[in-house]
Structure 1
């Protein structure tokens, strides 16, 4: 038999698919090859392709944010450490001695102090803040917009509750600004737009060179004695960040003392711009409280979750379910089901899980303790919230 004859009559076939060899139709042959391929797959391969890979992809979809936060130390280094100034205070120590302990001289008369904030919906926390700072602030400056940072229309809540703040009215400079309502825009752009407007409002309020300017969010509350110290002491740094005790939901859940964005500036015309990022390496220790998401009503939690600059953390609609939010508050867990935002695996692992309860109400804003019945939701042991 010739070679040509041998090859024309002996086409190669796999044993498991020998029945498809010689089929004439191209379509039939293609379908048969698919069946042949499927029959040839091992069970382990099928399980891998059709079970584990889809589960893996779905797991990445559900927990991708957690994975990226946990692996953060691999690609992001910790920021440069602050130079921390020890903070000395006791009610029975004179101001001259306190200034000397910090390496500063006492002034003949105190500086004027301006407290400037952007307001969203934090009526209760604003009340605590302004009562804490009232003895030492010369001018309260508040800017309110009819838009959230995410472009959601909102009513002017401060204007609606202005009667609650009559005690600051003689020292209040209040301004409003219309939102731009640009769909799809990064929320930080709107936030920056409102902070620039706050710069202009400060000028209207009459701020001058060497006045002290407090730059912080409403829920970042400097302690009264800290501001009194800075207004009475000479030679303080031109910009000083404040280390605040970090709380979540109320003063029951103490996280750490890593809140640093609040700052105090010796105002300089043309150089001082209202901002909420790191502007110096100098940090004054133990200077107040940061009480994040410390709201009276569940509806306020829902509103802020949708309204603030990190609204992208609301990845699933059930995050906004009131029953879930109430459960998260009482556990001290994370509203967005996120891992801690840390830069080392040790710190991430150490902070995983709910925040431990604390039952200390020592050294909290005095107005809070003097009006404990009205603000009981902010004190340890009172995690239940009204719906609103």
Structure 2
């Protein structure tokens, strides 16, 4: 009986016998702790000491991915746009096109102003301006000697201005000095430059009911879209443009969800240059957004360090030349991020490299007419020069 009793005796009783009944409370506590640890073998302890640090290191490396993947849990999708069907064919009259959109044709077209903040996208600027040239009254460009992140920047447009000599009669150019405030939120500097662009527009001579295109350089409205809006009456006072979204070149078609570009019927004292949602109406299939579409690797590195989302460069190896070239040719993400979506279905559906597109249909005419010069933007030409 006694053998059986000891086989089933409580652990606390065993510890009391080992450590002594008359021990102090502190000694008794330590004795019990040692007894508890005896229940775990060395391999289990070693496993715990390895797994916990590895888990912490994994969160450090991939915390941003975890945050983006769990985004649907705390952030709801934005209110959907009211999408207007977009009709166009070169053999259809403008009056018919206006009627198809529910608008009437004007006796004469409105004036159009295209205003941009310029950083370093010389080639994309050339595509944009040549696409829009027939229908723009005044091109307005503001350049700063500072990036949004307060890094010094050469005045690249000023040094390449000769390339755009054909546009001089329609160009209003301005330069603004950067404030170089280290540690400041980059969006503050960006807002500061957009306010300066408002002032430059007034210098350019914009008036009430003129059309104003608000978009980044790489958000390129199609020429026929702008021609439609300038000829049609009763268009909305503010209308966003849905653009085909590309990354690195026109080989990697991400989706058709680019929406920040907009066209405004200018109103003195009310219209302010901005780059966020300003209306609920969007015109379908209105152009192209080609993000990070650079000729040189050095231009990729510059933008990664210069634009408002510079916090995405979490590790220095992200700026490695070989890595960037590999990422471009795989259609992967420069910042090793997950898609910025609001549902698990869309996040999972877009994970991994972007599928290649081999279609060269419906691209800017100037690009196709100068294909040899801009071949790096065409399907199958992912290799970049270092610069």
Q: TM-score, normalised by structure 2?
A: 0.92
| Aligned-partner Cα distance in 2 for 1:88–1:258 | 18
- 1:380 maps onto 2:379 in alignment: yes
Equivalent residue for 2:88? 89
| Aligned-partner Cα distance in 2 for 1:160–1:152 | 18
1:49 to partner: Cα distance: 3.0
Gaps of 5+ in 2: 1-10
| Aligned-partner Cα distance in 2 for 1:351–1:235 | 38
1:41 to partner: Cα distance: 3.9
Equivalent residue for 2:277? 278
Residue 213 of structure 2: SS of its match in structure 1?
A: strand
Equivalent residue for 2:340? 341
| Aligned-partner Cα distance in 2 for 1:161–1:34 | 75
Equivalent residue for 1:256? 255
| Aligned-partner Cα distance in 1 for 2:205–2:46 | 72
Residue 155 of structure 1: SS of its match in structure 2?
A: coil
1:166 to partner: Cα distance: 0.6
RMSD of aligned residue pairs (Cα, Å): 2.3
Equivalent residue for 1:214? 213
| Aligned-partner Cα distance in 1 for 2:33–2:293 | 60
| Aligned-partner Cα distance in 2 for 1:155–1:144 | 10
Q: Does structure 2 retain, via aligned residues, the 8 Å contact 1:151–1:180?
A: yes
Please list, as runs of the form range in 1=range in 2, the aligned pairs for 1:185-264 lying within 5 A after superposition.
185-264=184-263
Q: Does structure 1 retain, via aligned residues, the 8 Å contact 2:115–2:212?
A: yes
Residue 240 of structure 2: SS of its match in structure 1?
A: strand
| Aligned-partner Cα distance in 1 for 2:55–2:335 | 21
Residue 120 of structure 2: SS of its match in structure 1?
A: coil
Gaps of 5+ in 1: 1-11
Equivalent residue for 2:131? 132
1:19 to partner: Cα distance: 7.7
| Aligned-partner Cα distance in 2 for 1:359–1:222 | 22
Please list, as runs of the form range in 1=range in 2, the aligned pairs for 1:100-119 lying within 5 A after superposition.
100-119=99-118
- Kindly report structure 1 stretches of 4+ aligned residues shifted beyond 6 Å: 16-22, 27-37
Aligned length: 377
Q: Does structure 2 retain, via aligned residues, the 8 Å contact 1:16–1:40?
A: no
Q: Does structure 2 retain, via aligned residues, the 8 Å contact 1:13–1:21?
A: no
1:54 to partner: Cα distance: 1.2
Equivalent residue for 1:151? 150
Equivalent residue for 2:356? 357
Q: TM-score, normalised by structure 1?
A: 0.92
Equivalent residue for 1:292? 291
Q: Deviations over 1:4-52 (max 9, x none)?
A: xxxxxxxx99867988769x9xx99999998777555444751453021
1:262 to partner: Cα distance: 0.1
| Aligned-partner Cα distance in 2 for 1:288–1:241 | 11
| Aligned-partner Cα distance in 1 for 2:34–2:143 | 67
